[in-house]
Amino acid sequence: MTDLPAAAPAARPWYVSALFALIAVVLLLGGAWVFARLRSPFPFYGTAYTPPLEARTFSGTDQNGQPWTFHPGRTTALFFGFTHCPNICPLSLAYLNKARQALSSEERARFDIVLVSVDPERDTPARLKEYVAFFGQATGVRVPEPALSQVARAYGVAYQKADVKGATDYQINHTTATYLIDASGHLRVLWDYTQLPQVDRVVRDLRYVLENPAS
C-alpha cells in the first residue's frame, strides 16, 4: 500500500493575516509608548523641554516703574504679549490666573505670572499696571529695544507690527506660547495658548514643576 502525501495545510484567509499584522503594530506602538513613559517620570500636558534648558535672564521695568530682573528662584509662567491685543493675550493671562487660583496658598507664594510686552512703544509702566490689574498677581514688564529683540530671540519668540494705520494704530503678530520656568531657572514646559483652557491639566504640570525643579 502506497503512502499518500500529506495534504497541504489550508491557506490562511487574508483577513486573518491582516488582523495578526494589526495586533503586532498595536503591540509595538504600545510598547514604545510605555517605554517613553518609563523614561519620562511625568507625562506633561504641555510640550516638555527634554532635557530642560537654562532660561535666559533679562532686565526691564515693571508696571510700578521699578527696575525688574528675571532670575532663578521662583517658578514662573512667562508670556510675551501686549496690552492692545484683542483676544489671545487677555485670554491666556486669564487662564493662567485661573490656574494660579487653583493652587494652594503655599504654592501660589512660589509662583509668578509675567507678561513681557512686545510693544514697548505703547506699553508704558502705567499702561501695563492698568492692564495686569485684571489678572490677579501678574507682573507686567517693559523691555526696550534692542534688548527686547534679543530676549525674544533667546526664547524663540517672534513678533512684528501688522495692520499699521498710523504711528500708534497697529496690531502685533507674535508667538503665543507660555513658557514655564522652574525655580532653578530651567525651561520645563511650553504651553500653546489653545491648551490653557484645560486649567486642571495646566495645574497638574504646574504642581509637578513646583515640586521638582531641574538639578
Residue 123 lies in a domain: yes
Classify each residue of 125-155 as buried b or exposed e, where b means 16 or more C-beta atoms within 10 Å of its C-beta. Answer: bebbeebbeebeebbbbbbeeeebeebbeeb
pLDDT recorded at residue 127 = 98
> How far apart are the C-alpha atoms of 177 and 31, rounded to whole Å?
31
pLDDT recorded at residue 35 = 36
pLDDT recorded at residue 41 = 54
pLDDT recorded at residue 12 = 57
From residue 60, give the alpha-carbon distance in Å to each of 81, 115, 139, 144, 179.
15, 11, 12, 7, 18
Percentage of residues in the chain having pLDDT higher than 70: 81
Residue 95 lies in a domain: yes
Contact by Cβ (8 Å): 161, 121: no
Contact by Cβ (8 Å): 76, 111: yes
Q: Please provide the average confidence, as pLDDT, over all residues in the chain.
A: 87
Per-residue cell: 211 = 515640586
pLDDT tens-digit profile of 128-142?
999 999 999 899 999
pLDDT recorded at residue 120 = 98
- Determine the average pLDDT of the residues in 107-123: 97
pLDDT tens-digit profile of 78-89?
999 999 999 999
Residue 101 lies in a domain: yes
pLDDT at 213 over 80: yes
Structural domain including 105 reads 48-211
pLDDT tens-digit profile of 11-55?
555 544 544 444 443 344 333 333 333 344 578 999 999 999 999
> How far apart are the C-alpha atoms of 89 and 93, rounded to whole Å?
6
Residue 3 lies in a domain: no
Residue 206 lies in a domain: yes
Classify residue 156 by its DSSP letter.
Answer: T
- CATH code where residue 124 lies: 3.40.30.10
Per-residue DSSP letters for 91-108?
Answer: HHHHHHHHHHHHS-HHHH
Residue 171 lies in a domain: yes
Taking only Cα atoms into account, the Rg of the chain, rounded to an integer number of angstroms, comes to 25
- Number of structural domains found in the chain: 1
